Amino acid sequence: MKFSLNWIKQYVPVAADTAKLSDLLTFAGIEVEGIEEKGGDFPNVVVGKVISYVPHPNADRLRLCQVDDGSGMARQIVCGAKNFDVGSCVPLALPGAVLPGDFKIKKGKLRGEVSEGMMCSAKELLIAEDADGLLILPPDSVPGTPISQLLDSDTVVEVEITPNRPDLLSHVGIARELALLTSQVLTTPMLTDAPAGDPAISVCSEAIEDCPHYTATVIRGVKVGPSPDWLAKRLTSIGLRPINNIVDITNFVLMELGQPLHAFDRAKLTGGIVVRHARDGETLAALDGSTVKLATNHLVIADESTPVALAGIMGGEPTGVKESTTEIVLESAYFRPACVRRTSREVGISSDSSYRFERGVDPAGVESAALRAIDLVLEIAGGEVVGGIASAGAPKLSLEPVTLRNDRCRKLLGADIADQEIVRILTALGLKDDRSETTGTHTWQIPSFRADLTREVDLIEEVIRVHGIENVPSRNLARFLPASASDLAFDFRRRMSRKMIGAGFYEARTTTLVREASLVDDVFGPREILRIKNPLGEDSAALRPSLIPGLLSVVETNIRKSTADLRLFEAGRVFEQGDREERRVLAMVMTGRTTPTGWQSSDAKVADLFSLKGVIESFGIPKLTAVQNEKESLALCAAVYCGKTCLGHLGQLTPARARDLGTDAPVLVAELDFDALREAIPVRFAYREIPRFPAMTRDIAMLLPLDTPHAAVADALRSANEALLDDIVIFDIFTDPTGEKVPADRKSVAYSLTYRSYERTLQQAEVNDAHARMKQVLNSKLGADFRE
């Protein structure tokens, strides 16, 4: 909401310092969104009248002027401008004045001549963007008059009013708050008594729930025309367009008191007024030119035949006040906030009125706003009130009193605020104290405009809002609380992230919402996807079931930007239908060179599946195995197990998919479940004996069927339970599709077996025996031929 400071000053004195005003509002919980200075208030800048001038004796371009500043004594001013004459009235900054830009005016000498001030241009007073010479004021201006009286100066403040404070949606509301904060007296407009007599129009409410109180007043013999200057200026100052004096008055009172009003042309109404819900098929031609289709839950103001206004939102065009209008019906009412909010949303119309009704207006304001408007209409548009105010229903003026225990207030705030300070604050807010017998506990009557104060905590909030949190001492209340399950899970994720960056991976954070089509990259899927009912677009319609699609799109972006060597990981949530709807996974992707080339070496190793597998192996998962797996979207795929638990998958994209991403190099991907990983990776802090006796190694070179995996060799050796066998290392694999060196259906592999005892130094003979047993196992289980 915008308010004008000049307008506010009608009700409460306001300091000129806008920065202070801004702070004052800010710390009262009223967010200042902008301050616009128009014209300005310039202390010590007055109207000056040039009495005479002569050329400066020492400077061709300057003049030596004698200026009347209203004191009766001529003042000498040195001036460079030429656009004035004897008798011209101009703004005169006296010594002590401070012009915009913190330009301080002092008495001084210019080229040897005394100058007791400065005559100003429009630019120097921030009235115009630039200026040629001095600002020439009307010739009848009185010397000595403060310049701000001649300039249309004002400060317009735009504030954000939180939904709990509808009482601040008016100038008087803001002024009341400022009066409280600065301990000053609020002056509200004087109202004449309500007109007496039988109402000249009938008013009937058929929807007392949605409209608890409705009033209408008939004023006859008004002369509709343009508003007087002061009224038009008030409205334009806050960005409203003057229409005609009657409409302007209703808008003025709305902005002054916060009570929306509406004026009907009496001649266009058929009979009396009925407040009711719309009937099926009814429409309303609204003032904004639209035609509103009404539904039966919409509250309308109707005459005997048809709706004439959308209650609390907008009037109808046919019954609006125009030049030809001579008799008006002035509406002032209270509409139920939820009713107005719903209707406003459904018909897609909101207005200054609906904005206030939605938030709740002051029930007591219905009558006072009507009286205020009547006074203004009679004053500005003439005419006379016919009969008394017609009314249906009654205002709900009394709110439930709220009890405040001052001790409770002090405890919750942790601040020692004295009883009398609490009482002072709440009293200044307009609350009335029903002092009860118990000291320190008061039951407070709530003013009708503060319907938001319903509970003790609401009053405590008011106390601290005025008292100021800056006056509350900081306090430390420490209490040890043990680590939670979430702590342990978080620590594990952090540990894994550190491992990943240690392995040269960059962390990416991609978005949860993805394009469904991108899920062709859910290479370890398929999964049952969760979708958004109201996505912003197709690009973000699905909840990701995997981090891989997002990471691959990051790979593509980076390759397009010429970074082809990539190691990325993400630790994030994935979603799928089923028991584990949300879980966290660790995903990684790798492509390009594993070590950058440098001046020492120009041949770089390009990452392959085993580079990424090596990263996973470095996690220290005991009993880690990888099982060959077939996935359509992958050239290579392995499921990663710890014992019998599947941790996730590892794979290489098909070359075609890699080329789509912009690279000929292998693109490796892996995704592991965090919970499973955490189970699999133990925290180890125990001693195991370090071997004291030397080991012996024996190599095996053998031919195996081409499809015998390494895992089968290792399993065969391990399952023999040879006590001395300590380690198995594969160090060569050779195949020859031509069949020349090795038969085409066989492969030549070489292993190094390590034998060791933890009790003694081994003898050659026993190692030879053990090794022979191992070879026997390989031969019988896998059909190995040894190449000795």
Partner 1 sequence: MEQTLTEISAAALAEVASASTHPEIDAVRVRYLGKTGEISKISEGMRDVSKEDRPRFGKLLNEVRTAVQSAIDAKVADLQAQADAEGFRNIDVTLPGTPTPEGRLHPVTLLENRVIDVLRRMGFALADGPDIEDEWHCFDALNTPADHPARNEQDTFYLPDGRLLRTQTSTVQVRVMRNEPPPIRIIAPGACYRRDEVDATHLAQFNQLEGLYVDTDVSLADMKSTIEQLVHETFGADTELRFRPHFFPFTEPSYEIDIRLEALGGKWMELAGCGMVDPAVFENINTARGDRAFDPEKVSGFAFGFGIDRLAMILAALPDIRLLTENDVRFLAQFQA
Distance separating alpha carbons of residues 710 and 569, to the nearest angstrom? 29
605 lines the binding site for partner 1 (CB under 8 A): no
Distance separating alpha carbons of residues 289 and 450, to the nearest angstrom? 35
342 lines the binding site for partner 1 (CB under 8 A): yes
User: Phi/psi at 268 (nearest 5 deg)?
Assistant: -90, -5
Min dist CB 414 to partner 1, Å, is 3
Nearer to partner 1, 81 or 551 (CB): 551
Rounded to the nearest 5 degrees, what angle is found at the Cα of 136, between the Cα atoms of 132 and 139? 160
Min dist CB 496 to partner 1, Å, is 12
34 lines the binding site for partner 1 (CB under 8 A): no
Q: Tell me the site size for partner 1, rule CB under 8 A.
A: 87
20 lines the binding site for partner 1 (CB under 8 A): no
Two tokens at 613? 């597998």
Nearer to partner 1, 24 or 151 (CB): 24
Nearer to partner 1, 215 or 663 (CB): 663
Contacts (CB under 8 A) with partner 1, residues 322-341: 338, 341
Interface characters, 105-124, with partner 1 (x: CB under 8 A): --------------------
Contacts (CB under 8 A) with partner 1, residues 397-456: 411-415, 455
Residues 300, 276 contacting (CB under 8 angstroms): yes
The window from 28-36, 377-385, 667-675, 758-766 that contacts partner 1 (CB under 8 A) reads: 28-36
Min dist CB 590 to partner 1, Å, is 10
Helix H or strand E encompassing 376: helix 365-381
349 lines the binding site for partner 1 (CB under 8 A): no
Min dist CB 401 to partner 1, Å, is 18
Query: Can you say whether the dihedral through the CA atoms of 267, 271, 272, 273 is positive or negative?
Result: negative
User: Phi/psi at 477 (nearest 5 deg)?
Assistant: -120, 95
The window from 24-32, 242-250, 319-327, 683-691 that contacts partner 1 (CB under 8 A) reads: 24-32
159 lines the binding site for partner 1 (CB under 8 A): no
- The residue from 16, 142, 520, 532 that contacts partner 1 (CB under 8 A) is 532
Residues in CB range of 139: below 8 A, 6 or more apart: 87, 88, 89
396 lines the binding site for partner 1 (CB under 8 A): no
Nearer to partner 1, 62 or 503 (CB): 503
Residues 142, 47 contacting (CB under 8 angstroms): yes
Min dist CB 461 to partner 1, Å, is 4
- Nearest alpha carbon to residue 240 among 478, 4, 496, 582: 4
Min dist CB 513 to partner 1, Å, is 6
- The residue from 75, 165, 356, 372 that contacts partner 1 (CB under 8 A) is 165
Min dist CB 479 to partner 1, Å, is 6
Distance, CA of 77 to chain centre: 54
Min dist CB 164 to partner 1, Å, is 5
Two tokens at 201? 């129009």
Two tokens at 370? 């009507």
Contacts (CB under 8 A) with partner 1, residues 559-598: 561, 563, 566-569, 573, 575, 581-582, 594-596, 598
Contacts (CB under 8 A) with partner 1, residues 271-290: none
Residues 545, 575 contacting (CB under 8 angstroms): yes
Nearer to partner 1, 291 or 484 (CB): 484
- The residue from 291, 439, 534, 602 that contacts partner 1 (CB under 8 A) is 534
Two tokens at 661? 């991403």
Across 579-614, b (16+ Cβ under 10 Å) vs e yields eeeeebbbbbbbbbebeeeeeeeeeeeebbbebbbe
Rounded to the nearest 5 degrees, what angle is found at the Cα of 697, between the Cα atoms of 694 and 701? 175
Q: Is 567 left (phi over 0), alpha (psi -120 to 50) or beta?
A: beta
Residues in CB range of 594: below 8 A, 6 or more apart: 604, 605, 606, 607, 611
- The residue from 13, 17, 20, 31 that contacts partner 1 (CB under 8 A) is 31
Q: How many CB atoms lie within 10 A of CB 170?
A: 26
Min dist CB 27 to partner 1, Å, is 7
Distance separating alpha carbons of residues 639 and 644, to the nearest angstrom? 11
Distance separating alpha carbons of residues 703 and 228, to the nearest angstrom? 108
Min dist CB 745 to partner 1, Å, is 39
Contacts (CB under 8 A) with partner 1, residues 450-509: 455, 457-458, 460-461, 464-465, 469-470, 472-484, 486-487, 489-490, 494, 497, 500-509
Distance separating alpha carbons of residues 307 and 301, to the nearest angstrom? 6
